Every structure is written in C-alpha cells, then in structure tokens.
Chains A and B, each alone.
Chain A
Amino acid sequence: MDKVVTNAKQAIEGIESGMTLMIGGFGVCGLPENAIAALAETDVRDVTCISNNAGVGDFGLGLLLKDKRIKKMIASYVGENDEFERQMLSGELEVDLIPQGTLAERCRAAGAGIPAFFTPAGYGTEVAEGKEVRVFNGKPHILEQAFSADFALVKAWRGDRAGNLIFKGTARNFNPVMAMAGKITVAEVEELVDNTELDPNAIHTPGIFVQRIFQGEKYIKPIEQRTVRVRA
C-alpha cells in the first residue's frame, strides 16, 4: 500500500467549510503544524475543531482562530490563548469544554466502533447536565457518546508509505486515538521512510487507520513553558 501524498496542500484536499476536524497534539506538543498551516491558506471556515487545546496566538489553531474561522471548539483546556478568550466571552465562538479523559475516550470509541460509554468523570457537575446517569458497582456514571469527525489531522515522528506511525516522547498524546477516529486521517511525519524500515513490533498506530501520509516541510516545535534546572 502506498498512501503518500506530496505535500500538506494535497493532504488536506476535501476539507470543506462546516466540517468537523480532529486535531492531534497536547498544547503545541505533537501538533500537525504543516497541515494546519496549509488549512490556514485555504478559505475553509465555520469548522468545528476537536482538540485538547486551542493553540497559541500565531501557531496551531491560533492561525484559524484569529480569522474567526472556527465555529465551535471542543476541548478540555483553553487557557493559553487570549484571542480564544476574547471570542468566547463575546459569543463569537461556541465552546464545549469536556474532561480530558472523556475527550480521549470519545475519540477512541469513535475509532473502535463503540457508540457510547459510561464514565464517572463529571458526575454531579455541569458536564453531566442532560446526560443519562447509571449506577455501576454502587458508583454513578454518565453516558458519553463517541465523536464523529470528517477529517483527523495527526502528527507522528516517523511513518512509512503504508501509513504505519511511530510517535516520540509526549508528542504521542491524542494523535493515536484521533487517527483511529477520522473518516479520513491525514498523518504528517518528521521522517517518511520505505515500508521495510520500521520495525512492525514498534508501530504505535497501524497503517489501517491512516488514509494519507506526508513528510512535513519543516517543524518549528515551539515550547510553551521552558523550564530548566541549574547544573549543580
């Protein structure tokens, strides 16, 4: 199998206004930065984005936010982005904040053919409003539904032409579960290799979940909170 496309522009072909997109990454770590930059070059708007965070000012989803092209954001934490705050408080942007584990599981469930599941997270809080509650083993749980996404944009460290992916460090985060969930999953990698090069034992995301793969032109990989210790 060969799922290679030549560049980010070709990889995001078919993304239209009004679609629902999953964007991998935790903060700006493991973000599909080339695909997002290519999307920012199009005139696609009114998208619903499912992503743990909303990027920062001029990077990641910040690129779409600043032109008000995101209609709705589904995330667990959005504290890093001032423009996000402005649009949310003014009502220009619809926001659905959900617990981080529930966000991950709603992606995983979507990819695994599980339409809904019960979780204790959020019981008794406003997250549970309007949701079915059931008691299992004496503990109340709320019913959460799998997501549905037209496209998933993910980023890996290495990938092969068949779409097999290996992630590095904490850049893995939401990428594997979002890769499972997209109707079309676009994977960008730092290094694209031939199908003989990756050890099948070491694959994190099997190629079956990936429809298109490309090597990103360059990676900025910013650090949000650079923290170091002094050498003794």
Chain B
Amino acid sequence: MSLDKEGIAKRIAQDLRDGWYVNLGIGIPTLVANYVPDGIGVEFQSENGILGMGPFPYEGEEDPDMINAGKQTVTLLPGASLFDSAMSFAMIRGQHVQLTVLGAMEVSDTGDIANWKIPGAMVKGMGGAMDLVASAKNIIVAMMHTNKKGESKVLPKCTLPLTGVSCVNRIVSNLAVLDVTPDGFKLIERAPGVSVEEVRNATAGRLVIDGDIPEMAL
C-alpha cells in the first residue's frame, strides 16, 4: 500500500524538531501543519509576511488582509509576527528558517530540483521557490514517486528547467523516504507494505540500498 497525500504529510511531520521555523509550500506540504507531533513546538513561516501562521479561519471570520502564500485565508497564533517581503526573504536567505518543505515535478540523485516550469505549457512562475531552495539548510521534497504515466520522478538528471541545484536533502514520496547522498538516493524507509523491489523499479536515479530497510512507523 503506497501512501496517500495525508500519509506523506504525516511522515514529514515526524522530521520536525522543537524550536524550528518552517516554511511549507503549496499542496501536500501545507498538510504537514496538521500532524505536528505532541511536544514539538514549531512556527510556520509564510513568505508573504507571517511567522506563527495558524489554521484556516472559521466561516465568517475570513479577513482579506490575512492570507498565506497560496492566497488562502488564514489566522495567526499567539506569538505571531508580520513583516514585509524583503524582511521575509531576509529570514529565508539568512538561513533563519530551519526547514523548507515543497513539492517537485522532478528531483535528481544529486539533489537538483525542478518544480516551476514545463516548456511549451503555461508558465506560472517560481514564486519564492528559488529563494527557498537556494538557502534553506534542510529541504524536504513531498512528492509522488512516479507521474501519472508511471514514469519515475526521481532521476539521474532533471529534464525540466531547474529551480535549484544540489539542494534537496530528503524526499518523502508515496513509496519511500530517500536521502540525497554523494552516492545517489539512499533508501531510508519504505512505505507500509511497499517492497524494496517496488521502490527500486520506480526510481530511475542511482539508488543505494544498505542492509534491511525498515517500514515507516506512522
């Protein structure tokens, strides 16, 4: 059984550490906020100018002046702060944000990431992704291991225009946890019920399998 989006978010949440400031991208990464483990205190940063972002507002309490980077209405938690875009990216570039979680179309076994442009199709723009991947100390990619055609998205080399080079530390996919190492992707954990063989078949980039690979404990 491969993981669904919630399962991927749940596994990534296990990597949160107490005291971290965390930037979550749009899509699966946003769901990570729902699974912060007990006893772990983190603050979520939204690059349009929030530290201490809270959940969506209750109906009737939406404020057009309070949105996240995905333009969704949000709330603030106690201890939150607000700032301008230059200050926000100073936090990001200055490596004051400990973890970035974002989605990807492709990741290479050297840690390159492509997630902003498909040539010939509509280009929506990179938003803050290039700034985030160029500077974050820890970058976890949340993604499906293969595309809708069943082709691997974890590759020897990205085919799409890059968002950043040699920057991804870890991938949490529907099949596995992979770490980017000098020898390629290292298989760290398998999704519940997923075999090493299945991960190997879905991974086009170099894959290091060292000893027994545990199942994720979710």
State the CA gap A169–B59 with chains docked (Å): 18
Contact with A along B31-64 (1 / 0, CB 8 A): 0000000000000001111100001111101111
Nearest-neighbor residue (CB-CB) of A30 within chain B: B65
Beyond A174-B84, A223-B73, whether A122 also contacts B134 by CB under 8 A is: yes
Nearest-neighbor residue (CB-CB) of B161 within chain A: A126
> B59: which of A102, A170, A228 is its contact (CB, 8 Å)?
A228
Contact partners of A85 in chain B: CB under 8 A: 122
Which residues in A have some Cβ–Cβ distance to B below 8 Å?
26-30, 52, 75-80, 85, 88-89, 95, 97-105, 107-108, 119-127, 157, 167-177, 204, 221-231
B49→A226 contact, CB < 8 A: no
A173→B49 contact, CB < 8 A: yes
Contact partners of A175 in chain B: CB under 8 A: 84
B106 to chain A, nearest CB (A): 13
B82→A27 contact, CB < 8 A: no
B93 to chain A, nearest CB (A): 6
Contact with A along B101-138 (1 / 0, CB 8 A): 00000000000100000000011111111110011000
B88→A125 contact, CB < 8 A: no
B84→A229 contact, CB < 8 A: no
B92 on interface, CB distance cutoff 8 Å: yes
Contact partners of A127 in chain B: CB under 8 A: 126, 130
A121→B64 contact, CB < 8 A: no
Known A28-B64, A227-B74; 9 more pairs at CB < 8 Å:
A100-B47, A104-B88, A120-B134, A123-B164, A168-B65, A170-B65, A173-B49, A204-B84, A225-B67
A59 to chain B, nearest CB (A): 12
Task: For chain B, give the interface size range.
Answer: 35 or more
Beyond A76-B127, A78-B125, whether A27 also contacts B88 by CB under 8 A is: no
State the CA gap A5–B58 with chains docked (Å): 39
User: Lowest 7 A-B CB distances belong to which pairs?
Assistant: A101-B89, A79-B124, A101-B131, A169-B65, A124-B165, A77-B125, A99-B130
Beyond A29-B48, A100-B128, A104-B88, whether A172 also contacts B67 by CB under 8 A is: no
Beyond A77-B125, A124-B162, A221-B64, whether A229 also contacts B56 by CB under 8 A is: yes
> A169: which of B82, B125, B128, B131 is its contact (CB, 8 Å)?
B82
A228→B73 contact, CB < 8 A: yes
Contact partners of B164 in chain A: CB under 8 A: 123-125
B64→A105 contact, CB < 8 A: no
A229→B58 contact, CB < 8 A: yes
B47 to chain A, nearest CB (A): 7
State the CA gap A155–B99 with chains docked (Å): 32
B148 on interface, CB distance cutoff 8 Å: no
> A77: which of B74, B83, B84, B127 is its contact (CB, 8 Å)?
B127
B57→A100 contact, CB < 8 A: no
Contact partners of A121 in chain B: CB under 8 A: 93, 130-131, 134-135
Nearest-neighbor residue (CB-CB) of A174 within chain B: B85
B108 to chain A, nearest CB (A): 12
> A170: which of B48, B57, B62 is its contact (CB, 8 Å)?
B48
